[in-house]
Amino acid sequence: MAKIDARLRENVHLLGELLGNTIREQHGEAFFDKIERIRKGAKGARRGSADGARLLQETLDGLADDELLPMTRAFNQFLNLANIAEQHHRVRRRRPGELAPFESGVLGGLLERLKAEGFGQDSIARQVGRLDIELVLTAHPTEVSRRTLIQKYDAIAEQLAARDHTDLSATEQAEIELRLQRLIAEVWHTEEIRRSRPTPVEEARWGFAVIENSLWQALPNVLRHTDLALRRSTGLHLPLDAAPIRFASWMGGDRDGNPNVTAAVTREVLLLARGVAADLFLRDLDGLIAALSMQAATDELIAQSGASAEPYRALLKRLRDRLQITRDWARQAVRQDLPAPSDVLEHNRELREPLELCYRSLHACGMGVIADGALLDTLRRAAAFGLFLARLDIRQDSTRHASALAEITDYLGLGHYDQWDEPQRLDFLQRELNNRRPLLPPDFQPSAETAEVLATCRVAARAPGAALGSYVISMARGASDVLAVQLLLKEAGLQRPMRVVPLFETLDDLNNAGPTIECLLELPGYRQRLYGPQEVMIGYSDSAKDAGTTAAAWAQYRAQERLVEICRAHEVELLLFHGRGGTVGRGGGPAHAAILSQPPGSVAGRFRTTEQGEMIRFKFGLPDIAEQNLNLYLAAVLEATLLPPPMPEPDWRETMDRLAADGVKAYRGVVRDHPQFVEYFRQATPEQELGRLPLGSRPAKRREGGVESLRAIPWIFAWTQTRLMLPAWLGWELALQQALARGEGDRLQVMRERWPFFMTRIDMLEMVLAKADADIARRYDERLVSQPLQPLGVDLRDRLSQAVEAVLGLTGQSQLLAHSPDTLEAFSLRNTYLDPLHLMQTELLARSRQQQDPAESPLEQALLVSVAGIAAGLRNTG
């Protein structure tokens, strides 16, 4: 087995030692000795040592009640520190002769491959300049770390980077370690768990902070390197106005099942975004005004700046004045409804034009080296972020629109919209969309729910077009769902086009996505209301929860294929919006591989995807890490556009049809049809307790009921905590077994070698199975599950072993991830700290369930810390 890199191991050891110092200082040597006994016992138990297992159990059993919380915190914080060390290791300074990370050279390597494949330099450069990648930041309740702790973790990473230099003196080294000791002490003395749920506005502020602290720096760096790679390969530059990567957000706009997101909240978040954007550009301008003190300028710039000895400064100071007015107005308008003064910047071109004028003048006057510095970075930010920072999507459930229209038609004496069939609805909606008179009379008094829907539409109508992204309709089922939103927006006074996007989530809805879009495109007048491409959102989370990942993945693939065919036939551009989560069970996994495994033609220079929960921090929380991930997105979308994967062979399709049919049967046979499943789920996992964890602003359930009422995120989160990882693999065990029994093993091998879609699915399945642990899951059952339900747990663990066996048979390995020994070694390191957390969590759950009112007790706090620790150790939750 490969060993962890010596520098990573050294950093992990150092951070652990400094944490130990802090713990000793507060709790004494005897308590720290218990931590060490538990750690050594867990390590021995993992290696099969009976003495190690006994030491682990005896020490845990001997903990006093008042030791449970600090012990849980100790293992939680070690895992967080290990994460920091691992993240830093990915971006650490390379020594002479060391290979650069794959992410750093992926684009340059691809450009050379494209030339070798016969693509001309001009066509490559044009395609790079036209790339349209939008990453949509969402605040799903999976980020378990408080923002104040995240800031301290980032500061620790900065000190590890400072420690990277090989020429540090002993004094400098000691100063860094002292700063690390202080930071770790600050972390230890800060509560891990929020006392209350964040509001949607607080979630939005967290998203803005990611942009301010990381992406603001990372994006221009990525585009600078992209321009350099393009110039080396083709001799051409990335255009000044190119924005191949942009950002959008659902924070403050996603009201699906979240009563805390109101029209007032959406309006406030839109204004906050404008204020933050103005403030960030003001910081850039202060630097530019200080730097651009030169006099030589073009006549074009002098005509704009007036008679000034320092024309660049004169022009930029006027822009700075307008940005200050914009920022101050946005901040005041949050508190009271103020009209925007005439000097408020309303259009992105008002920001870009003075900057572009300075850029052209500097180049024309022989000062291109100055123009291509900080000014170019600001221009790149202006193109990508603009005055509105991140476009805000609106999302609402289709039933809320239908209910609003039913109330309106009933009031008007037209009947009940929600009782009409699809042709009746379409006839009514088309008629009203084409009618110039308003639908609603002034005296209409809607119910509170309908009033909120209408108020949201009015906020969208009044916002600048560049401030908003798409209006996403969750649980969309027919063409009428799209027209219903268009009509409500029209009634609210929307004068400009806005993309209205159906989200297809369940298995049936995915299968019906093609016919629904075809119906829309054939409706008279619809094409005239279409804004740019036809956008369609593919739901990964709920489709997997509905049918299991085997059937869901194939349904998602086929839906995309059909949508590509339909839009091509209608000569309409298609933009697919991928609602991917952080975990395999929710469509997550490595973005680069996922993009390259999409159906051919589905990534045509455009790609839109959600970045959810804690994955935002892991992928974009630090500038260097963000650069690596943005590089991967750029390269993958370019490659999928110009070198798409092959079409699947007919017999591969037939095999996938059978795998999906067997998979959904096995999955639903357990999750839907087993009479004891829901009760087992609630006893065996911390699902009920997760509802008390103040993770996000949105409730864990859409409504009361069983598994079907649970959101996809806590559904995955609960199984992750117990290490059964059920949603990510259930169904695959039977599907693969049946295929092998039918003699299809050779075909599966060919599919894995030649079809990126199938290869990626099996790779992600292997990864999640490597994280699963039947022994840990069994411990939860033994401590928490009543005797009559325990046979179901035995059956599920047996299915897990069958899934492992099937994947090993397919990959020809003796051990999962044998091809990636460094990953296995990283898992081994984490398990030493995860195992005690799992064992403590089972005990904490048992004790918590015996208490009358567990809230606010130290035991409850320890339980919630264990949840956070396991999430940190596994690096994903929901």
User: Nearest-5° angle of CA 798, CA 802, CA 808?
Assistant: 145
Q: How confident is the model at residue 711 (pLDDT cuts 50, 70, 90)?
A: low
In whole angstroms, what is the distance from residue 123 CA to residue 129 CA? 10
Taking a C-beta distance cutoff of 8 angstroms, is the pair 59, 38 a contact?
A: yes
**Signed CA dihedral, 183, 188, 190, 192: sign only:** positive
Taking a C-beta distance cutoff of 8 angstroms, is the pair 298, 360 a contact?
A: yes
- Residue 53 dihedral angles phi and psi, to the nearest 5°: -65, -40
Q: What pLDDT was estimated at residue 847?
A: 87
Q: How many CB atoms lie within 10 A of CB 3?
A: 10
In whole angstroms, what is the distance from residue 427 CA to residue 420 CA? 10
545 is catalytic: yes
Which of 153-167, 513-527, 627-641, 773-787 has the lowest average pLDDT?
153-167
Q: Exposed (0-12), middle (13-18) or buried (19+): which is 673, by Cβ within 10 Å?
A: exposed
Tokens of 168: 């540090």
The highest-confidence range among 52-61, 96-105, 638-647, 867-876, by mean pLDDT, is 638-647
User: Nearest-5° angle of CA 701, CA 704, CA 708?
Assistant: 65
Q: Is residue 504 helix, strand or coil?
A: strand
Which of 69-78, 273-282, 650-659 has the lowest average pLDDT?
69-78
- Block residue for tokens 């925007």: 340
254 strand-pairing partners: 395
Q: Is the pLDDT of residue 698 over 70?
A: no
Mean pLDDT of the region 494-510: 94
* Pairing relationship of beta strands 500-504 and 132-138 according to DSSP bridges: unpaired
- Residue 354 dihedral angles phi and psi, to the nearest 5°: -65, -35
Q: What percent of the chain has a predicted confidence (pLDDT) above 90?
A: 74
In whole angstroms, what is the distance from residue 189 CA to residue 142 CA? 23
Q: Is residue 592 helix, strand or coil?
A: helix
Start-to-end CA distance of the chain, whole Å, equals 30
Q: What pLDDT was estimated at residue 799?
A: 98
416 strand-pairing partners: none
238 or 865, higher pLDDT: 238
Nearest to 141 by CA among 188, 187, 193, 186: 193
pLDDT tens for 163-194 read 988 788 999 999 999 999 999 999 999 987 77
Give the DSSP H/E element, type plus range, for residue 311: helix 311-335
In whole angstroms, what is the distance from residue 386 CA to residue 159 CA? 32
**Signed CA dihedral, 552, 557, 558, 559: sign only:** positive
In whole angstroms, what is the distance from residue 356 CA to residue 476 CA? 43
140 is catalytic: yes
In whole angstroms, what is the distance from residue 273 CA to residue 373 CA? 26
Q: What pLDDT was estimated at residue 581?
A: 56
Q: Mean pLDDT for the chain?
A: 91
The DSSP-derived string for 80-143 is: HHHHHHHHHHHHPPPPTTPPPPHHHHHHHHHHHHHHHTT--HHHHHHHHHH-EEEEEEE--TT-
Taking a C-beta distance cutoff of 8 angstroms, is the pair 840, 71 a contact?
A: yes
685 or 583, higher pLDDT: 685
In whole angstroms, what is the distance from residue 365 CA to residue 572 CA? 45
544 or 853, higher pLDDT: 544
pLDDT tens for 302-340 read 999 988 999 999 999 999 999 999 999 999 999 998 999
Q: What pLDDT was estimated at residue 694?
A: 62
468 strand-pairing partners: 392
Nearest to 281 by CA among 331, 317, 220, 323: 323
Q: How many CB atoms lie within 10 A of CB 10?
A: 13
Tokens of 188: 């230890």
Q: What pLDDT was estimated at residue 584?
A: 37
Q: What pLDDT was estimated at residue 693?
A: 66
Q: Is the pLDDT of residue 797 over 90?
A: yes
Give the DSSP H/E element, type plus range, for residue 35: helix 29-46
- Domain boundaries, given as residue ranges, for the chain: 1-100+147-190+820-878, 263-388, 650-819
Give 3-state DSSP helix, strand, coil % of the chain, rounded to 5: 65, 5, 25
Which of 57-61, 100-104, 529-533, 814-818 has the lowest average pLDDT?
100-104
Q: What pLDDT was estimated at residue 352?
A: 98
Q: Exposed (0-12), middle (13-18) or buried (19+): which is 199, by Cβ within 10 Å?
A: middle
Q: What does the DSSP 8-state code read for residue 254?
A: B
Q: What pLDDT was estimated at residue 696?
A: 56
Q: Is the pLDDT of residue 808 over 80?
A: yes
Q: What pLDDT was estimated at residue 140?
A: 54
Q: What does the DSSP 8-state code read for residue 263?
A: H
612 strand-pairing partners: 138
Q: What pLDDT was estimated at residue 794?
A: 98
Q: Which one of the listed residues 140, 225, 578, 619 is annotated catalytic?
A: 140
Nearest to 771 by CA among 582, 615, 581, 584: 584
Using only C-alpha atoms, the chain has a radius of gyration, in whole angstroms, of 28
Q: What pLDDT was estimated at residue 582?
A: 47
Q: Is residue 813 helix, strand or coil?
A: coil
In whole angstroms, what is the distance from residue 671 CA to residue 126 CA? 49
Q: Is the pLDDT of residue 233 over 90?
A: yes
Which of 426-435, 616-625, 745-754, 762-771 has the lowest average pLDDT?
616-625
- Block residue for tokens 């899934």: 803
Q: What pLDDT was estimated at residue 877?
A: 42
Q: What pLDDT was estimated at residue 594?
A: 87
Mean pLDDT of the region 112-136: 96
Q: Is the pLDDT of residue 715 over 60?
A: yes
Which stretches of 137-214 are DSSP H helices? Answer: 147-163, 170-188, 200-210
pLDDT tens for 816-833 read 999 888 888 888 888 889
In whole angstroms, what is the distance from residue 805 CA to residue 799 CA? 10
829 or 856, higher pLDDT: 829
In whole angstroms, what is the distance from residue 407 CA to residue 420 CA? 13
Q: How confident is the model at residue 141 (pLDDT cuts 50, 70, 90)?
A: very low
Q: What pLDDT was estimated at residue 713?
A: 65
Q: How confident is the model at residue 852 (pLDDT cuts 50, 70, 90)?
A: low
pLDDT tens for 578-598 read 987 544 333 335 678 889 999
Nearest to 259 by CA among 691, 697, 878: 697
pLDDT tens for 352-394 read 999 999 999 999 999 999 999 999 999 999 999 999 999 999 9
Q: Exposed (0-12), middle (13-18) or buried (19+): which is 681, by Cβ within 10 Å?
A: buried
Q: What pLDDT was estimated at residue 854?
A: 57
247 strand-pairing partners: 135
Tokens of 673: 């049809």
Taking a C-beta distance cutoff of 8 angstroms, is the pair 831, 42 a contact?
A: yes
Q: How confident is the model at residue 706 (pLDDT cuts 50, 70, 90)?
A: low
Q: How many CB atoms lie within 10 A of CB 804?
A: 20
In whole angstroms, what is the distance from residue 518 CA to residue 523 CA? 9
Tokens of 239: 């255009």
In whole angstroms, what is the distance from residue 235 CA to residue 227 CA? 10
In whole angstroms, what is the distance from residue 435 CA to residue 784 CA? 62
Q: How many CB atoms lie within 10 A of CB 278?
A: 24
Mean pLDDT of the region 854-863: 77
Which of 109-118, 186-195, 405-414, 738-747 has the lowest average pLDDT?
186-195
* Pairing relationship of beta strands 574-579 and 132-138 according to DSSP bridges: unpaired
Q: What does the DSSP 8-state code read for residue 582?
A: S
Taking a C-beta distance cutoff of 8 angstroms, is the pair 312, 294 a contact?
A: yes
Q: What percent of the chain has a predicted confidence (pLDDT) above 70?
A: 93
Q: What pLDDT was estimated at residue 701?
A: 53
Tokens of 454: 């209408």
Tokens of 433: 């969309």
- Residue 577 dihedral angles phi and psi, to the nearest 5°: -110, 115
Taking a C-beta distance cutoff of 8 angstroms, is the pair 581, 141 a contact?
A: no
Q: What pLDDT was estimated at residue 855?
A: 60
CATH topology classification for 263-388:
de novo design (two linked rop proteins) (1.20.1440)
94 or 567, higher pLDDT: 567
Q: Which one of the listed residues 43, 545, 592, 771 is annotated catalytic?
A: 545
* Pairing relationship of beta strands 391-397 and 534-539 according to DSSP bridges: unpaired
The amino acid occupying position 305 is: S
608 strand-pairing partners: 134, 577
Q: What pLDDT was estimated at residue 732?
A: 97
